[in-house]
Amino acid sequence: MIRAWLKRLFPGPPAPPVTQDGAPVSVSPADVGLHDAIHDGWFLGDSGELLKGFAIGAGDTVLDVGCGEGVATLFAVRQGASVIFTDSEHDKVRDLARQVEAQTRQPSLGLVSNSLPLPLAEGCASKVVCMEVLEHVDQPEAFMAELVRMGRPGAQYLLSVPAALGEELQKGIAPVGYYQSPNHVQIFSAERFAALVEDAGLVIEHRQASGFFWVMGMIFFWASERAAGRDLGGAVRDRIQAPFAPLMESWARTWQDLLTQPDGLAIKGLLDALMPKSQVIIARKPLAGESSSRGTS
């Protein structure tokens, strides 16, 4: 499936391919980013794991809060799960609903909501996904309480936020609006993120940090926007898409080539640990009578 496609896409050429006029062939940062993510355990279609340790099956009801373009929702649909997806932007919910309806006959529901509160019944989901959302929220504790309310006892949670170091590095080049509402109004240290999850009553099962590729990708994005004289204003997130700037494509080609080297994955691991883009927690809502005392793996 995805792995076979990536093997065809990234066969590890000895030199960058060129067009007939000698120009480098375009390389998509989005495709290279997907390749990088799969090395980190994401999108394991054969096992049904959205992330290693977070398996989705046909018996699950998956709630994707802050669904965005719907990557997690559509993965869940492919595993045969029922899906509920929410976002504060009407167009994203509408577009995702059309894709879901075209791909499944399982129950599905799309909601436009800022999640405070979520207009859903308590315990509606067996899997709750909330990725790269909490940094946009003025009241993260109240938001987490709503997420916990949505999960049934024993439900698993997949949560992610940007890593603090990557956020701080971008402050020297990102526009001021990137750190204002509706963009990033929170920066979470690893300790603060874990405390937010555990204080809400969840038990942490797994933690990881990765995505050095996207830390540098974002820096090259800001540099390209500045060089072009563009003012991003409040639409920062929506602008990071094709067509990508040549500087971003050049970085993607370099990273793609690195991953094909004998020590490429080891180097990636070191850089991911040193300067991750995202930090991820897989957690679980305790069963009735079970302690939710702190403890991480």
Strand, coil or helix: 291: coil
* Per-residue model confidence as pLDDT tens digits over 94-147: 999 999 999 999 999 999 999 999 999 999 999 999 999 999 999 999 999 999
Residue 75 neighbours by CB distance under 10 Å: 24
In one letter, which amino acid is 102?
A
Residues 6+ apart with CB under 8 A from 74: 96, 99, 100, 103
DSSP string, 248-279: HHHHHHHHHHHHTSTTHHHHHHHHHHHS-SEE
Diameter of the chain by CA atoms? 69
The domain 29-284 is placed in CATH, from the list 3.40.1740.10, 3.40.50.150, 3.40.47.10, 3.40.190.10, at 3.40.50.150
**Pairwise CA distance, residues 229 & 226, whole Å:** 5
Task: Tell me the pLDDT band of 3, cut-offs 50, 70 and 90.
Answer: very low
Task: Tell me the pLDDT band of 7, cut-offs 50, 70 and 90.
Answer: very low
Confidence (pLDDT) at 227: 86
**Pairwise CA distance, residues 115 & 87, whole Å:** 8
Q: For the chain, what is the mean pLDDT?
A: 89
CA-derived radius of gyration, the chain: 20
Arithmetic mean of pLDDT, 43-69: 97
Task: Tell me the pLDDT band of 26, cut-offs 50, 70 and 90.
Answer: confident
Establish whether the linkage from the previous residue to 243 is cis, with ω within 30° of 0. Answer: yes
Please tell me the pTM assigned to this model.
Answer: 0.88
* Per-residue model confidence as pLDDT tens digits over 236-280: 544 577 889 999 999 999 999 999 999 999 999 999 999 999 999
Torsion angle of alpha carbons 73, 78, 84, 87, nearest 10°?
A: 20
Q: What distance lies between CA 38 and its chain's CA centroid? A: 12
Length of the chain: 297
Task: Tell me the pLDDT band of 232, cut-offs 50, 70 and 90.
Answer: low
Confidence (pLDDT) at 131: 98
User: Which of 179-183, 247-251, 283-287 is predicted with the least confidence, judged by mean pLDDT?
Assistant: 179-183
Angle ∠(71,132,271) on CA atoms, nearest 5: 95
Helix axes 246-259, 29-39, angle to 10 degrees: 30
Token pair 């996904």 is found at 129
The larger pLDDT score, comparing residue 232 to residue 119, is at: 119
Give CA separation, 156 vs 54, 62, 108, 234, in Å: 7, 10, 19, 33
Give CA separation, 126 vs 85, 133, 157, in Å: 14, 20, 9
SS3 labels along 24-86: ECCCCHHHHHHHHHHHCCEEECCCCEEECCEECCCCCEEEEECCCCCHHHHHHHHCCCEEEEE
Arithmetic mean of pLDDT, 3-14: 42
**What residues does each domain of the chain span?**
29-284
